[in-house]
Homo-oligomer: A and B are copies of this chain.
Amino acid sequence: MTPPAFSRRGALLLALSIGASVSGAAAQTPDPLPSWNESHAKRAILSFVDAVTREGSGDFVPPAERIATFDNDGTLWTEQPAYAQAAFLVDRMKALAPLHPQWKKEEPYRSVLEKGLGGLAGANEATLARLVAATHDGTTPAAFRAIVAGWLADARHPRFGRPYTDLVYKPMREVIELLHAKGFKTYVVSGGGAEFMRAFMETTYGVPPERVIGSRVKTVYVTRSGRAELFREGEVEFVNDGKGKPVAIEQAIGRRPIAAFGNSDGDLEMLQWTTQAGGRRLAVVVHHTDAEREYAYDRKSNVGKLDLALDAARMNGWAVVDMKTDWKVIFPFQQP
């Protein structure tokens, strides 16, 4: 039931078809964004991509500088009713509970074991850090990715009854394939753990591990019986959210993106930093407006709150995707 792997052949065909549109056969050109209704956001994306990649364009950007960054939760896949990584944390805690009998009596573990995601509600940062430490440490990075992959294969979303990796946004996959076909390097820049996301990002979106930037737990290099290994300690070392995103982008990429996609206030600074520079820029905010096919939320949501960034989008003329009206389908398994 996992979605088909990102298709390199598809990207190539797309590249050829885009090439054809440039050489004049516009009427017969396949739409590179077929899951999108005609809308302001779709036009903004296509117009931007054309302007920065067409030879001779006044806004032409050399391929090496075509950097596009994407938030993950709520921008590339569903983040409601809770982040997938929070669901992983709860399930991981249950799986590890037999090794930690004291968790049944001790907070904050007890509440999570008894109430699941409800036990996380209202947890402050220090509490969350303890829960992350209890569930995300004690392995090598490769072993942790394997644990996440195993969980993704088994876990089901509470509303849709499908693997979380089915709940990726088909229209956003088309955007990423279009950007790849046009010589962009796409990066996922998200509050989720880097190793958590690396467990699925290449198969769901064609974004390889070296282009996944996330939050980090402290990792140390150890030698045991002469064997070298990396080992995850539970301590949260860096939270890749808000003001942290532009910093992490600079440290990892060393270039300012020319396009950024987000959906919440945690993406505001990435969108600001991407757009506040010379040359043509693109900022896109995915607005969750479709309670029937997915979820509808913004200014007052506990998860993925979109308030300041929605005002900023309107003030700065950033493209806002109205998921209900702009997207013909949301998930790959839905029919238009």
Residues facing B in A216-244 (CB within 8 A) are 216, 219-221, 223, 227-228, 230, 243-244
- Contact-residue bracket for chain A: 35 or more
| A198: B residues at CB distance < 8 A | 254
Judge whether A194 is part of the interface by a CB distance below 8 angstroms.
yes
Please report the C-alpha to C-alpha distance between residue A243 and residue B230 in the assembled complex, in whole angstroms: 10
Q: Which B-chain residue is minimally distant from A253 (CB atoms)?
A: B210
| A269: B residues at CB distance < 8 A | 221, 228
Question: Known contacts being A194-B251, A194-B254, A195-B254, is A273 close to B221, with CB within 8 Å?
Answer: yes
On whether the beta carbons of A254 and B220 are closer than 8 Å, the reply is no
Judge whether A247 is part of the interface by a CB distance below 8 angstroms.
yes
Residues facing B in A230-274 (CB within 8 A) are 230, 243-244, 246-247, 250-256, 269, 272-273
Q: A141: which of B209, B212, B220, B254 is its contact (CB, 8 Å)? A: B254
Judge whether A92 is part of the interface by a CB distance below 8 angstroms.
no
| A243: B residues at CB distance < 8 A | 220-221
Judge whether A208 is part of the interface by a CB distance below 8 angstroms.
yes
| A141: B residues at CB distance < 8 A | 250, 254
A145–chain B nearest beta-carbon distance, Å: 8
On whether the beta carbons of A228 and B250 are closer than 8 Å, the reply is no
Judge whether A95 is part of the interface by a CB distance below 8 angstroms.
no
Judge whether A335 is part of the interface by a CB distance below 8 angstroms.
no
| A250: B residues at CB distance < 8 A | 141, 219, 230
Judge whether A64 is part of the interface by a CB distance below 8 angstroms.
yes
On whether the beta carbons of B247 and A208 are closer than 8 Å, the reply is no
Please report the C-alpha to C-alpha distance between residue A272 and residue B269 in the assembled complex, in whole angstroms: 39
On whether the beta carbons of B209 and A276 are closer than 8 Å, the reply is no
Q: Mark A190-223, 1 if CB is under 8 A from B, else 0.
A: 0000110010000000001110100010011101
Judge whether A94 is part of the interface by a CB distance below 8 angstroms.
no
On whether the beta carbons of A216 and B254 are closer than 8 Å, the reply is no
| A210: B residues at CB distance < 8 A | 67, 185, 252-255
Q: Which B-chain residue is minimally distant from A232 (CB atoms)?
A: B250
Q: Which B-chain residue is minimally distant from A247 (CB atoms)?
A: B219
| A273: B residues at CB distance < 8 A | 221, 228, 230
Question: Known contacts being A219-B250, A251-B219, A254-B194, is A272 close to B208, with CB within 8 Å?
Answer: no
A176–chain B nearest beta-carbon distance, Å: 17
On whether the beta carbons of B230 and A246 are closer than 8 Å, the reply is yes
Please report the C-alpha to C-alpha distance between residue A306 and residue B138 in the assembled complex, in whole angstroms: 33
Query: Which 3 interchain pairs have the tightest Cβ spacing?
Result: A209-B254, A221-B243, A228-B272
New A-B pairs, 12, CB < 8 Å, besides A221-B269, A228-B273, A230-B273: A142-B256, A185-B210, A209-B255, A210-B253, A219-B251, A220-B247, A221-B243, A221-B273, A227-B276, A228-B246, A228-B272, A230-B247
What are 17 A-B pairs at a CB distance below 8 A? A64-B208, A67-B210, A141-B254, A142-B256, A185-B210, A194-B251, A194-B254, A195-B254, A198-B254, A209-B254, A210-B255, A212-B254, A216-B251, A220-B243, A221-B269, A228-B273, A230-B246
